[in-house]
Amino acid sequence: MVNPVSMSRDHVQSAPEAPGPRAKPGAGLDTPAAAVEAPFLELLARGASADAYEQPVLLARAEGRSAERIAALERAKLLALRVRAELEGRRRREAELSALFETAHDLAGLRDLDAVLQAIVQRARSLLGTDVAYLSLNDPARGDTYMRVTEGSVSARFQQLRLGMGEGLGGLVAQTARPYVTDDYFRDDRFQHTSAIDAGVRDEGLVAILGVPLMLGPHVIGVLFAADRRARVFEREQIALLGSFAALAAAAIDTANLLTETRSALAGLERANEIIQDRSAVIERASEVHDRLAELVLRGGGVHDVAAAVSEVLDGTVEFTEPAGAPARALDESRAEGHAVRHQDDWIAAVAAGGELLGALVLRGHPGLDPVDQRTLERAAMVTSLLLLARRSAAEAEQRVRGELLDDLLDARDRDPRLLRERAARLHADLDATHVLLAARLDGPAADADQEADARRRLWSAASHLAATRRGLAAARDGGTVLLLPLAPGDSATALARRTARHLGTAVHEAVTVGASPPVRDLAAHPDDVAGAYTEARRCLDALRLLGRGGDGAAADDFGFLGLLLAGDRDVPGFVGRTIGPVVEYDERRGTELLRTLDAYFDSGMSPVRTKDALHVHVNTVAQRLERVGRLLGDDWQAPSRALEIQLALRLHRLSAPERH
């Protein structure tokens, strides 16, 4: 374990200087670093709450200490809080990974099947946060299924349930070999209800139930359940995670069965003692392998580190590859059977979680693989899938937290600035720095609703990743994505918007348009500025799209005089009405195209000939329309000053008009 005090010192020494006034040369001689840092190091050492870190500063002020002393304490406090947040984050990640890989460790060192299954059910309940988790196994001799392990159950009747084949939600899972979930058990008629099952479920008080199959090859041997006593929607990631625990439970049962069969077969042989000793060595070797994998992952290793460790154990080259990098047929066979399969001189073990294929472990150039090494490769694939799921869950949780904070800045204007700063600090964001609010949206239309939703998810994911790497925030909003990114010294809102548009466009492989607000400061104390900045960014985004600059990025200053109108609370509708209102009303009343003709006329340099080419009409038609415009707007409508106002009004009219889908 890492010593929190020593880690705190490391963080204090390596952390960048917190923002604040710099001490003048010669000042602060009465504030040596050790005296300033000591109270905060003591707070870190005893794991004090975040509120306690204000006490040294308050005490210094009460004692009338110098401004330099108080400023030094403020800087030390910020550094200490940053170290504390880092320590808490590491503890959370360690606890999550420990729960996942302790299960793999228990399975590798299998001694008591009931203890392993109990640990799997207990950890599944803990990670999914459900009231109850339980596991049922099929009984071929009696032709039914029975409760093997329960966790969180309070009903004796429920714990002793025996179900006929095909009955209840578990029967549906066993029949289809697929996960099933119900938000409200008693209102769900997809499966067969029986009085015995319903009585047990009602006695336990269960409402929402998720069940995943325990598979040995193509056969269902039981079902692993997670259930709540209230209505609940289980997410796809939670279903996949429970599926992974079900795979571990099936592997534990399979291993126990293999051990039983082995001992029975060797009972009457002369070399029983020698073979049993060999088997014991094999089990110990498997335990050592998985102890090593669990330790490696808990230290922060990745999937490639797992592959390297297995390479050393199997005396070969093991690589993790994406699904497209492995032979499709062998990968599908491994995924379906749940075992590593041979492909020419290689072995392929699918890395899957529930119904999702995440990749493969490939053992290169090792055709002669004994069953023990094959099982080691298979369990390494299980560990890899759990690692990938844990990393994905952690990343998505952080993305949601960043989005919630930005939503609060945009919507909840009465939030406590101190709490906002603390939440931002936990995400390594500094709300006191200068930021730019960016509104991003995909430029091209989607083929259908599903593709559009998928494209928006990819845009949000790319924006969240960018925000995390830039110490900013991101959230999905108004059919697009909004980002709050810090503005570096010497940078501009326009340059940041253009870089963001290019970055997001490359990430999602589609054109992304980005509108930027002017720089904003001190957001925690002035959340109204965030909402105003978002409105500004949206206006710039709309202006870019209406001006034909999709896939680009810009700020209000880039639009010249049009930008001045966009930036303030101008009476844009009134200006448009006074300037071209008669033409707008005439088109709406008569269904004519005078506005379109005016646009083409000005775009063609006020040339009727080029205008008729742009509109694909006769030049006389253009002349008649322009004559009608003259009657509506007055004979001087083509004078330079009037023409400029009319062109501006035309653009503003397009900007304020609703989009046509």
Per-residue pLDDT reduced to its tens digit, 126-145 = 888 899 999 999 888 888 88
Q: How far apart are CA 8 and CA 87, in angstroms?
A: 8
- Is residue 282 situated within a structural domain? no
- H or E stretch at 180: strand 180-182
Q: In this predicted structure, what is the pLDDT of residue 381? A: 77
Q: In this predicted structure, what is the pLDDT of residue 566? A: 52
Q: In this predicted structure, what is the pLDDT of residue 351? A: 80
Helix (H, G, I), strand (E, B) or coil at 336: helix
Q: Do 631 and 579 share a domain, yes or no? A: yes
CB atoms within 10 A of CB 218: 9
**For the whole model, what pTM was predicted?**
0.36
What CATH code is carried by the domain that includes residue 188?
3.30.450.40
Q: In this predicted structure, what is the pLDDT of residue 296? A: 64
The total number of structural domains in the chain stands at: 5
- Is residue 547 situated within a structural domain? yes
Whether residue 337 contacts residue 216, with contact meaning beta carbons closer than 8 Å, is answered with no
Q: In this predicted structure, what is the pLDDT of residue 280? A: 61
Q: Do 554 and 578 share a domain, yes or no? A: no
Q: How far apart are CA 660 and CA 545, in angstroms?
A: 13
- Is residue 324 situated within a structural domain? yes
Q: How far apart are CA 403 and CA 103, in angstroms?
A: 33
Residues 249-267 pLDDT 10s: 888 888 877 777 767 766 6
**Residue 253's domain spans which residues?**
110-262
Q: Do 483 and 595 share a domain, yes or no? A: no
Spans of the chain, pLDDT less than 50? 1-30, 272, 275, 567, 658-661
- Is residue 293 situated within a structural domain? no
Domain limit, last residue, from 512, 541, 566: 566
Q: In this predicted structure, what is the pLDDT of residue 6? A: 40
Domain limit, last residue, from 515, 536, 566: 566
Which residues, in sequence order, are bridge partners of residue 595?
none
Domain limit, last residue, from 362, 394, 426: 394
Q: Do 540 and 580 share a domain, yes or no? A: no
Q: In this predicted structure, what is the pLDDT of residue 30? A: 45
CB atoms within 10 A of CB 441: 23
Q: Do 345 and 221 share a domain, yes or no? A: no
Task: Please give the span between the terminal C-alpha atoms of the chain, in angstroms, as a whole number.
Answer: 59
Q: In this predicted structure, what is the pLDDT of residue 576? A: 80
Q: Where are the beta strands (DSSP E) in 207-247?
A: 208-216, 219-228
Q: Do 193 and 307 share a domain, yes or no? A: no
- Is residue 502 situated within a structural domain? yes
Q: In this predicted structure, what is the pLDDT of residue 288? A: 66
Q: How far apart are CA 78 and CA 660, in angstroms?
A: 51
Q: How far apart are CA 472 and CA 428, in angstroms?
A: 8
CB atoms within 10 A of CB 280: 10
Q: Do 559 and 578 share a domain, yes or no? A: no
CA angle 537, 542, 548 (to 5 degrees): 130
Per-residue tokens: 225 = 């359940």
- H or E stretch at 488: none
Residues 79-130 pLDDT 10s: 888 888 888 767 755 655 666 677 667 666 666 788 888 888 988 898 888 9
Q: Do 445 and 462 share a domain, yes or no? A: yes
- Is residue 576 situated within a structural domain? yes
- Is residue 44 situated within a structural domain? yes
Which residues, in sequence order, are bridge partners of residue 482?
439, 475
> For residue 180, how far is the Cα from the chain centroid?
24
Q: Do 375 and 256 share a domain, yes or no? A: no
Q: Do 166 and 205 share a domain, yes or no? A: yes
Q: Do 46 and 80 share a domain, yes or no? A: yes
What CATH code is carried by the domain that includes residue 434?
3.30.70.270
Q: Do 256 and 128 share a domain, yes or no? A: yes
Q: In this predicted structure, what is the pLDDT of residue 203? A: 93
Task: Please report the DSSP string for 115-173 in residue order.
Answer: HHHHHHHHHHHHHHT-SEEEEEEEETTTTEEEEEEEES---HHHHT-EEETTBHHHHHH
- Is residue 72 situated within a structural domain? yes
